[in-house]
């Protein structure tokens, strides 16, 4: 068994009362233990901080950063990148839930493939509840063009989401890719496309279809409440992503 390298797990929250506690429980219960868990709260006005403080008091791997003024999700994701301490890095949205083996499985994939920068697993989308532990996760190797297609085509198992993936921190930081803080929607899709396209990242990536992450669907999330103007901006981002792909595919 390899020695467990440190993994920074960044959990983002904003007004997630009733959700964040369940999410942090699944982070706390990971079979992989050597984690640096940084919880970034973006000026919550409900009881979110109470739930965060409850778990932070129980788990000394957790550290909490609270913004007194709302910054927005892109800015908070950039804050998370500035907090990386581990050999590997993972995003978690604070209303979502993880299978117990989520971190262990992803770390194992990159430890066994030191020339790979990113690994991805499958996810479910629905009601609250942590996925069950997968018996044996089989990763497949995919080249940069295939990975780019995976993160930019809706419905693909790899997806343009940032949270069902693990990143080799040194490569990710060398890429110098940051989230566009002018965006309120699709900032994750643009970022992951730019990361995959970066020459700082490996030519090949890994992906598995096994579901180890559950994206909890909330009616109040921006995915469901985005205005027409935001949707138009999202289409502009799609065009920008397509131009990035022209240099790869």
Residue 196 near residue 151 (C-beta atoms within 8 A)? yes
Residue 213 near residue 98 (C-beta atoms within 8 A)? yes
Euclidean distance between CA atoms 196 and 99, whole angstroms: 25
Lowest-confidence region among 176-180, 211-215, 216-220: 216-220
Euclidean distance between CA atoms 141 and 156, whole angstroms: 15
Q: Which of 154, 244, 138 is nearest to 199 (CA)?
A: 244
More confident residue, 163 or 226: 163
Decide if pLDDT at 219 tops 70. no
pLDDT at position 247 is 83
Q: Which of 23, 132, 233 is nearest to 39 (CA)?
A: 23
Beta pairing class for 97-98 and 7-13 = unpaired
**What is the pLDDT averaged over residues 15-41?**
98
Mean pLDDT, all residues of the chain: 93
Burial 18-46 (b: 16+ CB within 10 A, else e): ebbbbbbbbbeebebeebbbbbbbbebee
pLDDT band at residue 155 under the 50/70/90 scheme: confident
pTM of the model: 0.93
pLDDT at position 3 is 82
State the CATH architecture for 5-244: Alpha-Beta Complex (3.90)
Output the DSSP codes for the chain: ------EEEEEEESS-TTTHHHHHHHHHT-S---EEEEEEEE---SSHHHHHHHHHHH-TTEEEEEESS---HHHHHHHHHHT--SSEEEEEETT-EE-TTHHHHHHHHHHS-TT--EEEEEEEEESS-PPPPPS----EEEEHHHHHHHHHSTT-SS-S-STTEEEEHHHHHHHT----TT-SSSHHHHHHHHHHH-TTS-SEEEEEEEEEEEEE--TTSHHHH--HHHHHHHHHHHHHHHHHHHTT-
């Amino acid at each position: 068994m390899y020695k467990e390298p440190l993994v920074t797990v960044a959990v983002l929250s904003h007004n997630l009362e009733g959700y964040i506690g369940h999410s942090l429980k699944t982070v706390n219960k990971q079979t992989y233990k050597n984690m640096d868990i940084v919880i970034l709260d973006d000026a919550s006005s409900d009881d979110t901080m109470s739930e965060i403080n409850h778990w932070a008091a129980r788990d000394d791997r957790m550290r909490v950063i609270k913004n007194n003024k709302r910054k927005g999700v892109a800015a908070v994701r950039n804050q998370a990148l500035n907090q990386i301490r581990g050999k590997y890095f993972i995003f978690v949205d604070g209303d979502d839930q993880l299978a117990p083996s989520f971190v262990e499985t992803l770390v194992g994939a990159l430890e066994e493939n030191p020339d790979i920068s990113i690994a991805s697993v499958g996810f479910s989308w629905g009601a609250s509840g942590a996925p069950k532990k997968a018996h044996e996760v089989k990763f497949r190797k995919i080249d940069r063009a295939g990975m780019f297609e995976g993160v930019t085509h809706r419905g693909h198992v790899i997806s343009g989401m940032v949270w069902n993936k693990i990143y080799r921190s040194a490569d990710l930081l060398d890429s110098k890719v940051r989230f566009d803080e002018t965006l309120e929607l699709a900032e994750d899709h643009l970022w992951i496309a730019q990361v995959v396209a970066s020459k700082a990242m490996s030519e090949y990536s890994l992906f598995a279809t096994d579901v180890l992450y559950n994206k909890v669907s909330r009616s109040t999330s921006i995915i469901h409440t985005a205005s027409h103007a935001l949707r138009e901006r999202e289409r502009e981002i799609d065009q920008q992503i397509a131009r990035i792909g022209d240099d790869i595919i």
